[in-house]
């Protein structure tokens, strides 16, 4: 039976990185006879301009029906502050995550040996790094009510958001983390702020409870401020990190720099049935959009995750990962991962280089 992949560019560099990743995915589809079919839809700022909302009905219909979704990035200064919050490009991304129930966001930070020189950290800290950040994606302060900006009695305005997690939400993301750890190095570090925030006191309790069902996995806890520091002084101490929506957003951008660039960090966002939405962790990079200099590798590796988790085509996913390795071996680099002696190429050429390396 053929499976359907919905491809969404988004805004800014989303257009360029998706063009590159789409080429790779379609080439693998041919080479490995995966029998995938493809469709396209819009999400974000350009979708708002065209349809009046960032998550248009047409996209919703297609997204609900698709087996998997490959996405670029969205947002940009042209939409900042011009529309109500629920019509902003970013609201489109939050809406689709919530609509599809994509609660489990997997963000693997893996350092390629070839890129050790591109990381701002010392080579010995980076070489061999392989950590998996499991970020809860449909709860926490991103979605908690009440929220808003209100005017106080004295006329001063006050902004407010609410950080909330139910036991059931914590339990299901915990299970994802423990199951991931069972296939890896059997260690989960849960990151919270239980010394200050009640919501994470409960988070810690539920993590402990779930851990009892996974006696082969070692659970530890760390406060988020310390975790931010430990990621820089000793990132290799971690195997799986599990945390809430906001902390996961921040820590994954930090972890990306250990791998050399935010342009190297892919992600998978999964629902309870492993239906998935795959996107790089970075944004639409308005500062470099349209210049053919963005790094498409995070998006290309997100396509590999799509094949692995939603299509069940692990060997095709391995084929893409191996091709990325060969391109890096050949010294080809986009600007963000460039170092002395390497060959500087653009986004489109990087996509083509990966396509060419698929069958080497």
Work out whether 262 is an interface residue with ligand NAD (CB under 6 A): yes
Using CB under 6 A as the binding rule, whether residue 325 contacts ligand NAD is answered as no
Q: Which does 336 bind (CB under 5 to 8 A by kind): ligand NAD, Mn ion, ligand IPM, none?
A: ligand NAD
Footprint of Mn ion on 228-267 (CB under 5 A): 249
Active site residue 99: no
* Least Å from the CB of residue 88 to ligand NAD: 8
- Neighbouring C-alpha atoms within 13 Å toward the C-beta of 307: 27
Please tell me whether residue 254 binds ligand IPM under the rule CB under 6 A.
Answer: no
| Torsion angle, alpha carbons of 330, 335, 340, 342, to 10 | 20
Half-sphere exposure at residue 168, Cβ-oriented, CA atoms within 13 angstroms: 2
Please identify which residue in 34, 288, 313, 324 interacts with ligand NAD, judged by CB under 6 A.
288
Residue nearer to ligand IPM on the CB measure, 14 or 346:
14
How many helices (H) and strands (E) the chain has is answered by 12, 14
Kindly give, in sequence order, each residue whose CB lies less than 8 Å from that of residue 46, ignoring residues fewer than 6 positions away.
10, 11
Catalytic, 142? Answer yes
292 is in an annotated binding site: yes
Q: Which residue's entry shows tokens 């053919």?
A: 292
Residues 180, 101: Cα–Cα separation, whole Å:
19
Cβ 178 to ligand IPM, closest distance in Å? 23
Query: Could you tell me how many residues of this chain bind ligand IPM (CB under 6 A)?
Result: 7
288 assigned ligand-binding residue: yes
Largest pairwise CA distance in the chain: 70
Q: Is 154 annotated as a binding residue?
A: no
Closest alpha carbon to 99 in 301, 250, 275: 275
Q: One of 49, 95, 99, 253 is an active-site residue; which one? A: 253
Does position 75 interact with ligand NAD (CB under 6 A)? The reply is yes
Contact track, ligand IPM, 298-337, x by CB under 6 A: ----------------------------------------
Q: Do the annotations mark residue 284 as ligand-binding?
A: yes
* Active-site pick, 249, 275, 278, 309: 249
Chain residue at closest Cβ approach to Mn ion? 249
Catalytic site includes residue 193? yes
DSSP 312: -
Query: Token pair of 36, please?
Result: 């995938």
* CA distances from residue 142 to 53, 211, 249 in whole angstroms, order as listed: 19, 26, 11
Is cis: bond before 146, omega within 30 of 0? yes
Q: Is 281 in the site for ligand IPM (CB under 6 A)?
A: yes
Buried b (16+ CB within 10 A) or exposed e, 234-262: ebeebbbbbbbbbbbbebbebbbbbbbbb
State the catalytic residue, choosing from 142, 214, 278, 309. Answer: 142
Identify whether 253 is a catalytic site residue: yes
State yes or no: 295 annotated in a binding site: yes
Give me the residues that bind Mn ion (CB under 5 A), please. Answer: 249
Give me the residues that bind ligand NAD (CB under 6 A), please. Answer: 10, 13, 17, 73-76, 90, 93, 262-263, 279, 282-288, 294-295, 298, 336
Annotated active-site positions, please?
142, 193, 225, 249, 253
């Amino acid at each position: 039976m053929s499976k359907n992949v919905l491809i969404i560019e988004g805004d800014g560099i989303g257009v360029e990185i998706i063009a590159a990743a789409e080429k790779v995915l379609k080439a693998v589809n041919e080479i490995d006879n995966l029998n995938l079919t493809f469709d396209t839809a819009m999400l974000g700022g350009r979708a708002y301009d065209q349809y009046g909302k960032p998550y248009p009905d047409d996209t919703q219909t297609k997204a609900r029906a698709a087996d998997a979704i490959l996405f670029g990035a969205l947002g940009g200064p042209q939409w900042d502050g011009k529309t109500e919050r629920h019509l902003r490009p970013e609201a489109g991304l939050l809406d689709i995550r919530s609509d599809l129930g994509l609660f489990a966001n997997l963000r693997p930070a893996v350092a390629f040996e070839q890129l050790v020189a591109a990381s701002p950290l010392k080579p010995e800290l980076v070489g061999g790094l392989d950590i998996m950040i499991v970020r809860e994606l449909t709860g926490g302060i991103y979605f908690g009510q009440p929220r808003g900006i209100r005017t106080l009695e004295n006329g001063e305005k006050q902004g407010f958001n609410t950080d909330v997690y139910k036991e059931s939400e914590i339990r299901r993301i915990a299970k994802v983390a423990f199951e991931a750890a069972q296939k890896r190095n059997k260690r989960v570090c849960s990151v919270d702020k239980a010394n200050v925030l009640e919501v994470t006191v409960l988070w810690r309790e539920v993590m402990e409870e779930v851990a009892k069902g996974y006696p082969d996995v070692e659970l530890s806890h760390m406060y988020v401020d310390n975790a931010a520091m430990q990621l820089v002084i000793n990132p290799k101490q971690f195997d799986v990190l599990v945390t809430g929506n906001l902390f996961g957003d921040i820590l994954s951008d930090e972890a990306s720099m250990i791998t050399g660039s935010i342009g190297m960090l892919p992600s998978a966002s999964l629902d309870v049935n492993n239906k998935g939405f795959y996107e790089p962790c970075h944004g639409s990079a308005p500062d470099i959009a349209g210049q053919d200099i963005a790094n498409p590798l995070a998006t290309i590796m997100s396509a590999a995750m799509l094949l692995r988790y939603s299509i069940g085509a692990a060997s095709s996913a391995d084929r893409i990962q191996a091709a990325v390795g060969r391109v890096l071996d050949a010294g080809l680099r986009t600007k963000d991962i460039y170092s002395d002696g390497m060959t500087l190429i653009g986004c489109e050429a990087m996509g083509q280089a990966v396509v060419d390396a698929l069958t080497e």
